Structure 1
Amino acid sequence: MSKARSVTASGVRGGGSPHRRRSGKARWYLPAALATDILGVALPVTLVFAGTGQPHPVPAALVGTALWTLVRAARHRYGSGALGESRGVIPALHDWLTLLGLLAVVRIAAGETSDPVTALLALSFAPLLTALCGKVTHRHLTRQRRSAQSVHRVLVIGEPAAADEVVERLASRTDHAYVVTGVVPVGSAQLTSGVPAPARIGSAPPARGEQDWVPVLGAAEQLAADLVLVVPGPRISGERLRRLSWALHDSGLPLALAPGLTDVAPRRLRTSTVAGLPLLHVAPPHRQGPQTALKAALDRTGAALGLLLLAPVYGLLALVIRLDSPGPVLHRQTRTGLDAKSFTMWKFRTMVVDAEQRRAELAAANEQDGPLFKMRRDPRVTRVGRWLRRSSLDELPQLVNVLRGEMSLVGPRPPLPDEVAQYDEVAMRRLAVKPGLTGLWQISGRSDLSWDESVALDLRYADNWCLRGDLDLLARTFRAVVDGRGAY
C-alpha cells in the first residue's frame, strides 16, 4: 500500500523534476471560509434585526461581522495549515462563544438596547454555516489527498528499518498531507517499503571536512521535496543532525523529526530545552481528576435526559419487536468494562432467542479476524433486528448502563468476556477507560473494521480522550448512524 501511494504521488507530481514545487491546497478554501463567515453574521443579523424592529441593524451587523472574523483570524482559522483540516463543529462553537462574550462587552459599553434573545437567534447561524463550510472543504481535501493532490512531498532520512516503519505508517492513512516520495537510507541495509532511494549516506559520521548532507540535498532537489523528515537513530548523532539541519535550512528546506511515538494527541506534548538538549514531554492520559469527574457527570445527566425523552420510542420499539418474533424485548449480555470488571449490558433483542446456542455452528462463517465474531448476513438476526442494527436503535437501552456508571456515552466498544480472554497486554489497555455507547469505532466503519483497526482506535481513544473530543465524537456519531455503514 505504501509503495503504491508513494509511486503514484511521484507520478502525479512529476518526481524527478530538478526544481522543488510545493503542493498547496485549493485556492478557493480561503475565499469560501471568509465569505461564509462574513455572510453568516452580516446577512442574518441585518434581516432579523430589520424584520423585528430592532435598532441599528446595519451597525450591529458590521460590528458582529468584524468581531467574528477577528476571532476566527486570531485563532488562525484562515491559515493554510487550518483550512480544510477540521470537519468538527467544536472549533466553530468555541469561536462563537468567544464572539458572544466580546459582543456582551461591546453591548454594555455602547448602551445597546436590542433584544438579547433576538440577537442570539440572529448570531446562531454563524457557527452552523462555518461548520458546514469546514465540512465541505474537508471532504474536498480528503478526496484530493486520496489521489495524491494537495499534499506535501516528503523525503525521509533514517536507518532502513526505522525509515520503512515511518513510510508504512504514513502510507496507511490518507487523512494527512504527507506523501513519501523518497528515502535516503543511513547505512548499507536494504529498504523493504519499495520507495525510491535516490541517495544513501554512510553509517559512520563524516570525517572532519567531509559533508555527507550533499546527497540529501541532491535527493531533495531531484524529488522536488517539500519537507525532509528525519528518523533519529544510533547512526544519526546529535552533531550530525545539527549539521544536516544547517544545510537543509540554508537551502530553504524545512526539517521535521519523527521521535518514534505513535497515536499521542498534540495536546499531550510539550517541548523544552535543558542544557541545550531539546526534550519532548508527554503528559499522561486522563484517568482521574476534574475532567474525569465532569465526564461522569455529563454521562449520567445525558443518559437520564435520553431515557426520559426517548421513553415513547422505547415503547414503540418494544411493540415492534414483540410483533416480529417470539421472545423477550430486551437482550442482556455479560460484557467487560473498566478494569476488566464484568457487567450486564442491555440491548433491544435483534436475534432469535436461541442465537447464543447457534453461534458455535456458525463459527466457520465468521467474517472477522481476531476474537470478534461478525457475519454480514447472520441468519440469527430477525427482520426487525436487521433494521435496528443498521439504525443503531438496538443500542438505546445501554443508556441504563451509562446511568448506572457501568458505561460512558463515549468510549471503546464493550467487549465480551471470551474476547478479553484472548487479549494480549496491548489490547488489555482498552479496559483502562469505561466502554462507550459510541466511540471512534462507531464513526469509522464499525463491523467493517478489522480486529487490529478496532484495537488501534480504542487504544487511541483510551490514551487521548478529552471532553472536547467526546463532544465532537457524539456529533459525528449522528452522521454515522444515518449512514449505517458497517452496521450489521
Structure 2
Amino acid sequence: VVFLIIAVLAFLLRVSDIYSRMVFFIAWITSLAAAPLMRALTRKMFAFREWWGYPTLVFGTGETARRLVSTLQKQPELGFRVKAILDDRPADAASLYGVPVYQGLEKVPRITSECNISHLVIAKPEAPRQELVRLIEGPCSRCSHLFVVPDLHGISSLSIEAHDLCRVLTLEVRRSLLMPGPRVAKRLIDLGLAICIGVALLPFLILIAILLRLESPAPALYRQSRVGRSGRAFWIWKFRTMVPNADCVLKEHLSKNPELRFEWEQERKLRCDPRITTIGRFLRRTSLDELPQIWNVIKGEMSLVGPRPIVHEEMLKYGKDFTLYEQVLPGMTGLWQISGRNNMSYPERVALDSYYVRNWSPWFDIYVLGCTLKTVLDGYGAY
C-alpha cells in the first residue's frame, strides 16, 4: 500500500523521471520479504519483556484450553500473555503451566480489573450454543477483545473470514491452492527462485558430485518414484547418500534386528541407518542431498514448499488426508522440515502436511523458506 501511494504521488507530482524505476521496483520486491521478516524479528526480540503482549484470560480447563495455554506460554511472540484461567467447573489443579486457575464466573470482574485483562479466549468447543451466547453476552462482555474457539477442528484456520449472511454469522473457508490465480503465482515464484538458486549453486553441486564419485564408483545421483499431484508418479532426484547395494544391506540388517524392522515399518526411516556413507551422512544432516530436486521444481513436478513427497507404500498411512496431499505439488521443504524433521512421528507429519494445504498463502511459503534455512543450519532432527 505504501509503495502504491508513493507511485501515485510520484506520477501526480511529475517527479517519476527523477527517481529510478528499477530501484523502486527492487525496493518493492525486497519489502515483500523484508517486512514480514522484520515483524517476526521484532516479536522475537521483545517477546519475553514484561510489557509485551496483551493481558489475556482463558475460559476453560479442558484439553483444548490446555493445548492453547501451553502454546501461548511457549510462543510469547504471538502477543497473548495469559494472566489467568477460569472455568465454571471445579479445576483439577490450582495452576496450569504456571498460570493460576480460578473457579466461578463471579470472579470475572475482579480478575479483569486486577490483571487489566483486555483479551479473553473462550476455549470450550464442546459447549452448547446457548452456553456460549450466555458467556459472550454476560461475564465475558467486559473484555474489549473476545475470541471463541469453535468446534471446527480440521478446517482451515488461516484462510478464513467471518461474514454476516442474512444476519447469520457465516464463515468463509478459502482453499487458495485450489484457485487458478494463487496457483499461477506460486508456480512463478517457484520457477524464478529455483532457476536463481540452481545457477548460483551449480559449482557447488558439481563439487558434491565429484566427491561422491571419489568415495565410491556408483552414480552421484539416484532417482526414486514418488507420488505427486493428482496421485501421479514422478521421479524424484537426490544425491546418493547410500552404498551401491543399499537394498541388500537393508534387507540383511532388518532380518537380524526385529526392533529396527518395526522402526522401519512405522517411520520408513532408521535413526542409525547402516546404508549411509560418510559423505552421505553429512549431506543428510545438512539436507544438501535434496538440492537436485531443484530440477523437479523447474519441471513442475515439485514446489519449493509443500507436503513431504511420499512413496506409494505410504498412501494408505495418509488415510483421508491423502485427498489433500494429491491436490498440490509436494515440496522440497515444508512444515515437517521446520517442525522437527525426522524426530516427529508419522501422524504428526501427516497433520502438518494437511495443515499446510488448508492454510497456504504466499507469506506462509516465505515463512517456511526462512525457517528452513535456520533448521538446516541447526541440523535438528536430521539423520
SS at match of 2:121: strand
* 1:390 alignment partner in structure 2: 285
Alignment of 1:410-429 (within 5 A): 410-426=305-321, 429=324
SS at match of 2:267: coil
- Cα separation, 2, equivalents of 1:115 and 1:333: 48
In 2 relative to 1, CA 383–170 (structure 1 residues): closer, same or farther, beyond 3 Å? same
Unaligned runs of 5+ in 1: 1-70, 72-94, 201-212
The reply on whether 1:234 has 2:128 as its aligned counterpart is yes
The aligned amino acid for 1:198 is Y
* 1:463 alignment partner in structure 2: 358
The reply on whether 1:332 has 2:223 as its aligned counterpart is yes
Cα offset, 1:391, TM superposition: 2.8
- Cα separation, 1, equivalents of 2:94 and 2:249: 44
* 2:211 alignment partner in structure 1: 320
- Cα separation, 2, equivalents of 1:287 and 1:129: 27
* 1:291 alignment partner in structure 2: 182
The reply on whether 1:198 has 2:102 as its aligned counterpart is yes
In 2 relative to 1, CA 111–132 (structure 1 residues): closer, same or farther, beyond 3 Å? closer
Instruction: Summarize deviations over 1:311-343 as a string: whole Å, max 9, x none.
Output: 433332221101012322112222222233322
The reply on whether 1:178 has 2:83 as its aligned counterpart is no
Alignment of 1:149-168 (within 5 A): 150-158=52-60, 163-168=62-67
Structure 2-normalised TM-score?
0.78
Are the equivalent residues in 1 in contact too, given 2:117–2:143 (CA < 8 A)?
no
Aligned length: 371
Cα offset, 1:461, TM superposition: 1.0
- Cα separation, 2, equivalents of 1:392 and 1:402: 16
In 2 relative to 1, CA 227–316 (structure 1 residues): closer, same or farther, beyond 3 Å? same
Are the equivalent residues in 1 in contact too, given 2:157–2:359 (CA < 8 A)?
no
The aligned amino acid for 2:178 is R
In 2 relative to 1, CA 136–297 (structure 1 residues): closer, same or farther, beyond 3 Å? closer
In 2 relative to 1, CA 365–266 (structure 1 residues): closer, same or farther, beyond 3 Å? closer
Cα offset, 1:124, TM superposition: 9.6
Instruction: Summarize deviations over 1:351-384 as a string: whole Å, max 9, x none.
Output: 1122233334256248979832334443322111
Are the equivalent residues in 1 in contact too, given 2:33–2:366 (CA < 8 A)?
no
- Cα separation, 2, equivalents of 1:366 and 1:105: 68
Cα offset, 1:348, TM superposition: 0.6
Which of 98, 102, 109 is 1:217 aligned to? 109
SS at match of 1:409: strand
Cα offset, 1:183, TM superposition: 4.1
Unaligned runs of 5+ in 2: none
* 2:44 alignment partner in structure 1: 139
Cα offset, 1:471, TM superposition: 3.6
Cα offset, 1:115, TM superposition: 5.7
Instruction: Summarize deviations over 1:217-244 as a string: whole Å, max 9, x none.
Output: 3454577644322235227446523531
The reply on whether 1:101 has 2:4 as its aligned counterpart is no
Cα offset, 1:290, TM superposition: 1.7
- Cα separation, 1, equivalents of 2:195 and 2:303: 12
- Cα separation, 1, equivalents of 2:94 and 2:151: 18
* 1:437 alignment partner in structure 2: 332
Instruction: Summarize deviations over 1:154-181 as a string: whole Å, max 9, x none.
Output: 43335x6xx4323224414633333555
SS at match of 2:375: helix
Are the equivalent residues in 2 in contact too, given 1:410–1:439 (CA < 8 A)?
yes
SS at match of 1:105: helix
- Cα separation, 2, equivalents of 1:269 and 1:365: 43
Alignment of 1:254-293 (within 5 A): 254-262=145-153, 268-274=159-165, 276-293=167-184
- Cα separation, 1, equivalents of 2:4 and 2:318: 45
Tell me the C-alpha RMSD between the 2 structures.
3.9
- Cα separation, 2, equivalents of 1:140 and 1:118: 30
Instruction: Summarize deviations over 1:137-162 as a string: whole Å, max 9, x none.
Output: 232245x28xx98344543335x6xx
Which of 246, 257, 266 is 1:371 aligned to? 266
In 2 relative to 1, CA 297–319 (structure 1 residues): closer, same or farther, beyond 3 Å? same
Cα offset, 1:395, TM superposition: 1.0
Cα offset, 1:134, TM superposition: 4.0
Cα offset, 1:112, TM superposition: 6.2
Are the equivalent residues in 2 in contact too, given 1:226–1:254 (CA < 8 A)?
yes
SS at match of 2:14: helix
SS at match of 1:293: helix
Instruction: Summarize deviations over 1:366-412 as a string: whole Å, max 9, x none.
Output: 89798323344433221111222233221122122223332112111
Are the equivalent residues in 1 in contact too, given 2:227–2:309 (CA < 8 A)?
yes
- Cα separation, 2, equivalents of 1:370 and 1:170: 35
Are the equivalent residues in 1 in contact too, given 2:249–2:274 (CA < 8 A)?
no
Are the equivalent residues in 1 in contact too, given 2:177–2:328 (CA < 8 A)?
no
